[in-house]
């Protein structure tokens, strides 16, 4: 059942805002030749620098809204592929979200599912397959499935993905197991620790994520869910040392309404995923495609400035029309 965190929690939220204002003093390379039909513009030469700067704490009003491509720009490539990263870079998307799992012999690869069945021409659990076995597979186009055609690209390693992204685009690491320390070691080796957003779900008893290694050495983002408690109980430990952003997962829009103000008052950003109804109170891409104001516009009006979507180019164009890309070259 959805939780209602409005009403009796409003005093907690007001108290949080006041306290925060006082504290702030402000009151493996593969084919990347697939065509991206939606591409109309190229990113600014310093697009990564501008996007990364936008993740610094700020109390500025009307901050540019950043676009995050869920599993990359996969519609004419393949999800979690090198080509999907290149496609996002080509059209000026701010960040790609990539899923990371560990093979049987300890190699980090990009793969959302527990098995390779949906997205490749193989079968079996990633944790039971060696990297050599996975390297011999080929990714299916788009989101995969039984009838999806094959690409010429194998599932890439996390290292290969970060080499592709290095100096070009922000990356959101969605770890499908506790691979954070190993992922950070790869980032250090590649030289990309300053362009990774590393996230983890937190509860009311967890200390600030920004103070926990290796999150204290990257751009950290706690994930807060209304299934874990009220906005106030979840927010306070995390805002003692504000992160760049907080991801909110909610069935009840009241959770977003209660959390958005304190988060923004801390200088952090609010991140929402418009992927499925159960994680954004029904405000989804499916609705946004016909009525973007009712979904993306409503979220922006509630203070959301980071949106993860399966339609990144459509969202990008919408933001440009609304004038919410100023400062990012758009």
Tens digit of pLDDT at every position of the chain (330 positions): 333 333 333 333 334 333 333 333 333 333 333 333 333 344 444 789 999 999 999 999 889 999 999 999 999 999 999 999 999 999 999 999 999 999 999 999 999 999 999 999 999 999 999 999 999 999 999 999 999 999 999 999 999 999 999 999 999 999 999 999 999 999 999 999 999 999 999 999 999 999 999 999 999 999 999 999 999 999 999 999 999 999 999 999 999 999 999 999 999 999 999 999 999 999 999 999 999 999 999 999 999 999 999 999 999 999 999 999 987 864
> Ramachandran region of residue 289, left (φ > 0), alpha (ψ -120 to 50) or beta?
alpha
Host H or E run for residue 171: strand 170-175
Instruction: Give the Cβ contact number of residue 166 at 10 Å.
Output: 16
CA nearest to 172, candidates 103, 225, 105, 95: 95
- Into which CATH architecture does domain 7-27+44-55+63-322 fall? Alpha-Beta Barrel (3.20)
The DSSP annotation for 80-139 comes to TSHHHHHHHHHHT-SEEEEEEEE-TTS-EEE-SSSBSTTTBS--SBGGGS-HHHHHT--B
- What are the residue boundaries of the structural domains of the chain, listed by start? 7-27+44-55+63-322
CA nearest to 161, candidates 89, 104, 54, 211: 89
pLDDT of residue 39: 37
Please give, one letter per residue, the 3-state secondary structure of 182-231: HHHHHHHHHCCHHHEEEEEECCCCCCCHHHCCCHHHCEEEEEEEHHHCCH
The DSSP annotation for 40-63 comes to -----TTHHHHHHHTTS----SSP
Q: How many residues does the chain have?
A: 330
Strand-pair category, 95-102 with 196-201: unpaired
Q: How far is CA 95 from the centre of its chain?
A: 7
Please report, for residues 109, 210, 231, the alpha-carbon distance to residue 235 in angstroms, rounded to integers and kept in the order given: 32, 13, 6
SS3 35: coil
pLDDT of residue 51: 94
Rounded to the nearest 10°, the torsion over CA 274, 280, 281, 282 is: 20
Q: How far apart are CA 314 and CA 300, in angstroms?
A: 15
**Rg, the chain, Cα only:** 19
pLDDT of residue 329: 67
Do 237 and 203 contact (CB within 8 A), yes or no?
Answer: no
CA nearest to 109, candidates 90, 93, 132: 132
């Amino acid at each position: 059942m959805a939780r209602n965190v409005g009403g009796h929690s409003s005093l907690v939220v007001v108290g949080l805002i006041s306290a925060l204002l006082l504290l702030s003093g402000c009151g493996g390379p593969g084919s990347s030749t697939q065509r991206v039909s939606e591409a109309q513009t190229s990113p600014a030469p310093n697009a990564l620098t501008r996007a990364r700067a936008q993740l610094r704490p700020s109390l500025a009003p009307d901050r540019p809204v950043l676009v995050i491509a869920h599993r990359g720009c996969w519609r004419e490539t393949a999800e979690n592929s090198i080509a999907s990263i290149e496609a996002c870079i080509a059209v000026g998307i701010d960040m790609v979200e990539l899923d990371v799992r560990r093979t049987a012999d300890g190699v980090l690869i990009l793969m959302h599912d527990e098995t390779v069945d949906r997205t490749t021409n193989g079968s079996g659990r990633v944790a039971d397959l060696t990297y050599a076995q996975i390297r011999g597979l080929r990714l299916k186009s788009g989101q995969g499935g039984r009838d999806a055609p094959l690409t010429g690209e194998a599932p890439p390693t996390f290292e290969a993905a970060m080499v592709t992204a290095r100096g070009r685009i922000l990356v959101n690491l969605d770890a499908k197991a506790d691979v954070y320390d190993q992922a950070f070691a790869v980032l250090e080796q590649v030289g990309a620790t300053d362009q990774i957003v590393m996230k983890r779900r937190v509860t009311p008893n967890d200390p600030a994520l920004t103070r926990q290694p290796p999150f204290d050495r990257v751009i950290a983002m706690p994930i807060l869910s209304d299934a874990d408690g009220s906005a106030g109980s979840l927010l306070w430990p995390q805002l003692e040392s504000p992160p760049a952003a907080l991801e909110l997962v909610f069935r009840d829009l009241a959770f977003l309404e209660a959390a958005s103000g304190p988060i923004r008052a801390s200088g952090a950003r609010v991140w929402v995923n418009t992927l499925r109804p159960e994680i954004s109170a029904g405000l989804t891409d499916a609705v946004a495609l016909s009525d973007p104001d009712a979904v993306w516009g409503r979220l922006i009006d509630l203070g959301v400035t980071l949106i993860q979507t399966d339609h990144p180019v459509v969202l990008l164009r919408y933001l440009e029309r609304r004038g919410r890309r100023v400062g990012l070259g758009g």
